[in-house]
Amino acid sequence: MKKLFLIAVAMLLGLVATAADYVEVTGTNVRLRTQPSLQGAIYKDANNNPIYPKKGAVLECYGDFGDFYKVKFKGTELYISKQFSRPATGKKATVATKGTAQQAKNVTAPAAKVAAPAAVIVTGTDVRLRSGASLKSPALQDANGKNLHPIKGQKLKCVGQQGDFYKVVFGGLTAYISKKFAVPAE
């Protein structure tokens, strides 16, 4: 039974390894990191110089980690900010592999995104609305410096989602609310 299980896992890993998606680098001098965080070490060469992928380069993508994609660059698995990359689509995109470029056939985007609900209901009290889809993003404040809070049970228009956050409209402002404190309106 154990041997059968190991064979099944090996087969599954083989399928996962061949099902890589791709992301395109959209900025210049984009830092690749060793962890999915701005605090993660920057990828550098032997002389301690940062190595940047070229703008327009297409990298193999192995997952979505909040504000980062896990990618392969020059044979190393690293993380790139979603702020400076996007899902790659189309045919014959140039893929960076082990320092060389090759033509890729049928480049696909990362896993299909789930459509955002049209509206969400706030489920918590004193919930902070943020300027970005991260708990590290600043909370929205009024002119007096006080945090803006929706009321528990309030329905907010939802215009998207990113990671663990819904992108909502509150008082004419676009903000992000944690999915821990909001549910789709039915």
Of all residues in the chain, the percent with pLDDT exceeding 70 is 75
CA angle 110, 18, 162 (to 5 degrees): 15
Residue that the structure tokens 């996962």 belong to = 16
More confident call, 60 vs 120: 120
Write the single-letter amino acid at 98. K
pLDDT at 167: 92
* Cα(182)–Cα(45) distance, integer angstroms: 44
> What's the gap between Cα 8 and its chain centre?
30
β-partners of residue 97 are 100
pLDDT at 87: 84
Question: What CATH architecture applies to the domain 10-103?
Answer: Roll (2.30)
Domain extent listing, the chain: 10-103, 119-184
End-to-end CA distance of the chain: 46
Average confidence (pLDDT) over 151-173: 91
Average confidence (pLDDT) over 171-177: 89
pLDDT at 33: 92
Q: What is the homologous superfamily of the domain 119-184 according to CATH?
A: SH3 Domains (2.30.30.40)
pLDDT tens digits for range 73-124: 888 889 999 888 888 765 334 444 444 444 444 444 444 456 789 999 999 9
* Cα(164)–Cα(135) distance, integer angstroms: 10
Predicted TM-score of the model (pTM): 0.43
- The band of 162, judged by pLDDT with boundaries at 50, 70 and 90, is confident
Instruction: Give the Cβ contact number of residue 96 at 10 Å.
Output: 20
Q: Which of 145, 140, 142, 146 is nearest to 169 (CA)?
A: 140
Answer positive or negative: Cα dihedral of 161, 163, 166, 169. negative
